[in-house]
Amino acid sequence: MDGNILSIVIYGMGGVGKTTLAMHAHDNLLKEPKFSGHVYWITVSQEFSIHKLQSDIAQALKLDFSCRSDEKKMAAQLFQTFQKRGSFVLILDDVWKQIDAEKIGIPPRRDGCKLVKTSRSKEVCYRMGCQRIIKVNTLSDQEAWELFFKKLGRVELHPEVEEICKKMVKRCGLPLALVTLVGSMRGVTDIHGWRDALEELKQSCMGRADMENEIFPILLYSYVRLRDPKLQRCLLYCSLYPEDFSIKREELIENFISEELMDRRLSWRAENDKGHAILNQLEEPAYWKGFQVGMGM
């Protein structure tokens, strides 16, 4: 809300919570009379191009381009539209490389114009010349334990199970890793199941001490704990789609059937039902979200 700060970047490793933090800011700023609801969210991602970013911004502004094939004309049209909006906030999530705001059509350093970016690269932050750089750190041991316990449902744990949980949490300083871990453990009540899960987690993390890649062992662990090869194949199939792509459920199920990723059934309806059942399992908290974000790394 500082009128002197026009450009902000939030940076940190993948899975640390940059997007979640920016989403909270987005939702709160929508309520601010100063911006009159002119708060726009754009996911940039690794597959960045000027034309795609211009098109995504135009869609958020509900703007029809008069010339979609000319990037300079598109930039001019975006610039004019932003100028008419007065005060606004533009949030660019998941920026992988330097973005020239003027080439896109974003007014540079104008009063009332707030440009917020999230990135996992400190170098990119400095190259973009942002006025305020905010680093998102990994969770402390206490914060990690509180998040784990909250996501688990604050159930009463047997002392031995609680000790196992604490050992698991120590291996996860990233919120995404913790949420993914909890999702794989919901419904496990037997002490043998918890011990086995801890051993699997150790195996997944073995030899992977690099904090930048901390999320991958947890994703591997949760993938292995799907157990069912059909679920694993169907989940991996989703990685064939581009990052941030909106996958239609019916189309996905048709592909599962045609690629013979599921057991054959006697009728199309039965196969369709099976596809929905698989997606319902994959959409359980943490499995799907965690793997989807991980694939974008």
Give 196-237 pLDDT, tens digit per residue.
888 888 777 665 555 456 677 777 877 887 888 888 898 888
Q: What integer pLDDT is reported at residue 292 of this predicted model?
A: 40
Reported as type and span, the H/E element at residue 242 is none
Q: How far apart are alpha carbons 95 and 212 in whole angstroms?
A: 17
Q: Which of 27, 38, 29 is nearest to 61 (CA)?
A: 38
pLDDT tier at 288, thresholds 50, 70, 90 = very low
- pLDDT score of 5 more than 60: yes
pTM over the 0.75 mark: no
Torsion angle in degrees (nearest 10) through CA of 220, 221, 224, 226 = -110
Structure tokens at 141: 């041991």
How far from chain centre, in Å, is Cα 172?
17
In the chain, residues under CATH classification 3.40.50.300 are: 7-135
| Residues in CB range of 18: below 8 A, 6 or more apart | 10, 11, 12, 93, 118, 119, 120, 136
Task: Please state which CATH number belongs to domain 7-135.
Answer: 3.40.50.300
Cβ proximity of 39 and 86 under 8 Å = no
pLDDT in tens, 112-148: 788 999 998 888 888 877 888 899 988 888 888 888 8
Question: pLDDT tens digit string along 238-271?
Answer: 888 877 678 888 999 999 988 988 888 888 888 8
